[in-house]
Each structure stands twice: as structure tokens, then as C-alpha cells.
A and B are shown apart, each in its own frame.
Chain A
């Protein structure tokens, strides 16, 4: 499933559509503590988290995750939003909790 396919499900609000929407999402990763994410983050995963700031974006880049999905109604702060826009990162969001959001993406990957 590509990032574009995930967007097309309409399940998530698009905070920022990045510059590589053809990128393949291969897995799902859930965690909010950044130093754990940094060591356990999964390459090409959609990262479901409640942390919406520039640090999330830095960890996403460093671990080569595909996109960020903010759950539980979390929002990207202003500085993070600017960075996502200028660097072309995909950020989606939802009011739903982490588990159903992650499960939905996982189901889509394996559909």
C-alpha cells in the first residue's frame, strides 16, 4: 500500500501530503517515547503516535519511517507543521485511539 492509497481510504485527515506519495508503507509502528522510537522505529512503517512536534519528524527521518499518523486527536504544532511542509513529509491525523488506527493500516497493508 502506498501513502497515496492510505490517504485515498479517507480514514485520516491529511495534515500535510508529502512529496513522495508513491512510497510503499510496509509496516506499522506505535510508540510515543522518542528514544525508544529512535532505536525500535521500523523502516517504511506508518508511525502512529500522539507526539506532534519537530522531534517526531526528526525521528521519522532518522529511522526512515514512511509517514506519521497522529492519533487520539493529537495535532502537529506550528513549527512541526512548517517543517513537514518545507521538507515534504506526510502527516495524517485522526480523533481515534492508537490501536484501531494502527490496526486499520495493518489491515490495509495485508488486504
Chain B
């Protein structure tokens, strides 16, 4: 696998019914490519949490997954409200999720901590009123 492979997903901020489609599809692709189960699991968790955050905290966005020799790179870019305090947002248990979103099972405040825990690196660029871009890598 010397060439890199790239997959792009548009995430609709309104469409709760389709949320999870990017992570589910990436999982399928990695499985077909024969990546180790542990790598697939970590990538699935990272993309799923990022995808959900784009829908419940931003207004959707774009996910780009690049698979190259020994590395899965995930870039999740949204044009949402931005994150005022990244350190706080990264704290386990911290959540600004609304009551209606909590009723769906979200809002444990574990999404970003999971993304950090299961990837080899995470970088968050954010600007209030402009958007947030999360870049993660899983090495294998």
C-alpha cells in the first residue's frame, strides 16, 4: 500500500437519521483493506465521535479520511460556532449538549476524551463563529 487512499464525506447538520454513516462506511472500507481490528476500532470511535459532534454542536461539515502506509489521517472540518475553551471541552464529563440531544443518549462529555484516548494524535483548530477543524491520526 504505497499510494494513499482518500475518502470524503459530507455531513448534514440536520440529518440525525444518517449520523454515523461516515464512520460506518470507513469501518467497512478498512475491514476490506484488512487493517488490524484494533486499528479499525480506534478509527471508528474517533470518526464516530467527531461526526456526532459536527451534527449536535456544529451544523455539519466535511470529513476527509486519508489512508497511507501505516497511518490513517482524519480531518473533520465544520463551520459551526467554534469551541470557546478547548481545554474545558476536552475534560471528561464536560458537555453543553441540550436536553433534547441528551434524550437521544448523547452528552456524557466523553466524545473528545475518547477521540484523544483512541488516536495517536489530535489537533483542534477553532475560531469562534467561524468553525472547528479536528485532525487526528491513528498509526499502525
Given contacts A54-B20, A62-B20, contact A34 B108 (CB under 8 A): yes
Q: Which of A33, A36, A37, A79 has the most CB of B within 10 A?
A: A33
Chain B interface mostly:
helix
* Residue from A36, A57, A58 in contact with B48 in the complex, judged by beta carbons closer than 8 Å: A58
Q: Which label, helix, strand, loop or mixed, suits the secondary structure of the A interface?
A: helix
Distance between A90 CB and nearest chain B CB, rounded to angstroms: 17
Q: Are A39 and B118 in contact (CB under 8 A)?
A: yes
Contact segment of B57-65, B81-89, B109-117, B120-128: B109-117
A61 CB contacts on chain B under 8 angstroms: 20, 24, 27
Chain A residue with minimal CB distance to B113?
A: A35
Chain B residues with CB under 8 Å of A53's CB are 104-105
Contact indicator B111/A35 (Cβ below 8 Å)? yes
Interface size class of A (residues with CB under 8 A): 20 to 34
Q: Give every chain A residue within 8 A of B117 (Cβ-Cβ).
A: 39
**With A35-B111, A36-B110, A39-B45 in contact, do A58 and B19 touch (Cβ < 8 Å)?**
yes
Please give the residue numbers on chain A whose beta carbons come within 8 Å of chain B beta carbons, in ascending order.
32-39, 49, 51, 53-59, 61-63, 79, 83
